[in-house]
Amino acid sequence: MRPATQAALSAIAQSDIRQALGLRPIVNASGTMTVLGASIMVPQAVAAMAAIATEFVEIGQLHAAAGREIAQATGAEAGFVTASCASAITLSVAGSMTGERLLAIERLPDSTGLRNEVLVQTGHLVGYGASLQQSIAMSGARVVTVGTVSGAQPYQLDEAISERTACSVFVVSHMTVQYAMLGLEQVCAICHARGIPVIVDAASEYDLRGFLARGADIVVYSGHKFLGGPTSGIVAGRKDLVRAASLHNRGIGRGMKVGKESIAGVMAALQAWQQRDHAAIRAGEDAALACWLEALGPFDAVACQRIDDPTGNPLQRLRVKVLPNRGWSARSLADALAAGDPPVMVRDYQTDLGFFDLDPCNLHEGDAQTVARQLTACLSLVPPGKPTYR
């Protein structure tokens, strides 16, 4: 890194940049959320980004190096880096429609004459701040739904395949319907028998190898979630499909361009992930859960329980059920925490069910204690009485 860059960086590191920008110094007990700034970037990624920021590179060579890194980390034939997982979905779908035909690539999102239908189970049509359906449709493809939110049957996928089918997209996430959907092996067996590739959206999944091993042709991840990389996406999989997807950088992918700093940053994050002491991190997360359980113990307005991650990531959260008729609702307690000093953001997307979760995977030193203190402070207040609804 150039000395001037280093000096500027350490000046910023001395203070909390949020104050200078007029931002609230929030504590994240919510998990990896785009609206909260995703994750804590690992120092290796920050250093790599700063080091490459001032240098010129041959971008094609940098992309190729990242591809080798991704292949090594995932067991894939090939890989490439995108601006985000959402753009990885768009470009992977685009690649499945065009192959390596450059004129077709330049013509998208006009997909006239191409295989342009994408099969997705209805229960997999999630939203991650934007909708999966739109990320697919941006390529010029059209989503063909399979089954209902109550279930999908093998024949419903099989008979939906036609000469217009480009690929199938399979989502692994806590946000999908969690029962009666077709499993990955089933989808791969049905699609592969008809020559249709399967793209797996595993944006938030820690498992870098399993989905390809189970038959996926392409798997896409977020670089800025569990990996602690910069805002970016990772595409890994079959060489021809990865190449076709990456060629869209000269077409619809231009508006989703990833820069040298993000490519270098996510490469460093991938390397760091493989060297990380996962057991120590898990122990730190367990200690946070224990700290919160102890803080909440005296309060009869809440009942707490450790819960496993719904898709099997090696991560537990603390579910805080807010009991009725004690003045608080899950919503009003979450709102009170977010309005505190410092503001504590909890995992609050299910408050309509009477609970929120506390997520320990994005905490700085001392944050667990701050969260415990704020929980105690809020619950010691006279509750607002009437629940507020959002």
Site residues, ligand PLP (CB under 6 A):
34, 84-86, 126, 128, 171, 173, 201, 203-204, 222, 233
Residue 141 CB, shortest distance to ligand PLP, in Å, is 16
C-beta closer to ligand PLP: residue 79 or 327: 79
C-beta closer to ligand PLP: residue 126 or 144: 126
- Cα 83 from chain centroid (whole Å): 13
Residue 175 CB, shortest distance to ligand PLP, in Å, is 6
Residue 128 CB, shortest distance to ligand PLP, in Å, is 4
C-beta closer to ligand PLP: residue 233 or 251: 233
Query: Are the C-beta atoms of residues 72 and 87 closer than 8 Å to each other?
Result: no
Residues 6+ apart with CB under 8 A from 156: 146, 147
Instruction: Tell me the helices (H) and strands (E) count for the chain, helix number first.
Output: 15, 12
Residue 170 CB, shortest distance to ligand PLP, in Å, is 11
Residue 168 CB, shortest distance to ligand PLP, in Å, is 15
Residue 307: how many CA atoms within 13 Å on its side-chain side? 17
Q: Which two tokens stand for residue 270?
A: 């991938």
Residue 203 CB, shortest distance to ligand PLP, in Å, is 3
Residue 79 CB, shortest distance to ligand PLP, in Å, is 15
C-beta closer to ligand PLP: residue 92 or 204: 204
C-beta closer to ligand PLP: residue 171 or 177: 171
C-beta closer to ligand PLP: residue 198 or 301: 198
Strands (E), the chain: 27-29, 78-82, 117-121, 142-146, 165-171, 198-201, 218-222, 233-237, 302-308, 316-322, 344-346, 355-358
CA–CA distance, 213 with 53 (Å, rounded to integer): 35
Give SS3 for 382. coil
H/E segment holding residue 155: helix 154-158
C-beta closer to ligand PLP: residue 134 or 388: 134
Single-letter amino acid, residue 381: L
Query: Are the C-beta atoms of residues 303 and 384 closer than 8 Å to each other?
Result: no
